[in-house]
Structure 1
Amino acid sequence: MASSVDLATLHIDDFTAHKDAAFDMQTANGVVPLRLAKVDAAGNSGRQGGAFSLLFAAPKGPWLPQAIYPVTHPRLGTMEIFLVPIGPLADGNGYQAIFT
């Protein structure tokens, strides 16, 4: 397995350019495709570059539990992200990650 990106080094600008891009989430049952639906600033948390949130859309289907999942993007690499199901979106199941 490839090494993971250090989440502390990621900033909102790293994701803004990839809005609507495809990501892959590895689960125990295989890969789930994700689309980065939204990138939002979330205030000043003391984190370098400030806090931000990511909203991913997965295909409609069974919900996955909140957990840390390896999420891969061709340019950003593999990140171990804590994703929380937040409810249905128009185009699938919504999962949110908050970086504080």
Structure 2
Amino acid sequence: MELQKLSTLTHNDFKDFLDKSFDIQFEPTVTLPAQLVELIALNGYSPLERKPFSIIFRTKQKNEYYPQSTYIIIHPLLGDIPMFLSPKGYDSEGMKYEAVFS
């Protein structure tokens, strides 16, 4: 699948996918299902035409997590998107990871 260019992504590219399933490739042999659980418009300046935003995914991980790094987000309509994800912590359903687009 084609890699998506990060600088072209906007808040609107993700709004129809809120609460939908994605996959996150954490390692070449480890891909976990995830759900897009939050989409947040952010205030701030960006040299790009888009406004800053963040997205939060949740995996079913309960006792482990991956450190902040660039991972591949996989979706059949959006393509494969390399994103820098930071672990946000656990909730009752699993581990949350955040990507910020500034």
TM-score, length-scaled by structure 1: 0.92
How well do the aligned residues superpose, as a CA RMSD in angstroms?
A: 1.2
The separation in 2 between residues aligned to 1:3 and 1:51, in whole angstroms, is 24
Q: Which residue of 2 aligns with 1:30?
A: 30
Q: Which amino acid aligns with 1:13?
A: N
Identity %: 30
TM-score, length-scaled by structure 2: 0.90
Q: Is the aligned partner of 1:92 residue 2:94?
A: yes
Instruction: Give the Å deviation of 1:7.
Output: 0.5
State the secondary structure of the residue aligned to 1:13: helix
State the secondary structure of the residue aligned to 1:43: coil
The separation in 2 between residues aligned to 1:32 and 1:78, in whole angstroms, is 14
The separation in 2 between residues aligned to 1:89 and 1:74, in whole angstroms, is 27
Q: Which amino acid aligns with 1:49?
A: R
Q: Name structure 1 gaps, 5 residues minimum.
A: none
Q: Which amino acid aligns with 1:50?
A: K
The separation in 1 between residues aligned to 2:17 and 2:24, in whole angstroms, is 16
Q: Which residue of 2 aligns with 1:59?
A: 60
The separation in 1 between residues aligned to 2:77 and 2:2, in whole angstroms, is 14
Q: Which amino acid aligns with 2:98?
A: Q
Q: Which amino acid aligns with 1:24?
A: D
Q: Which amino acid aligns with 2:76?
A: P
Give the length in aligned residue pairs.
99
Q: Name structure 2 gaps, 5 residues minimum.
A: none
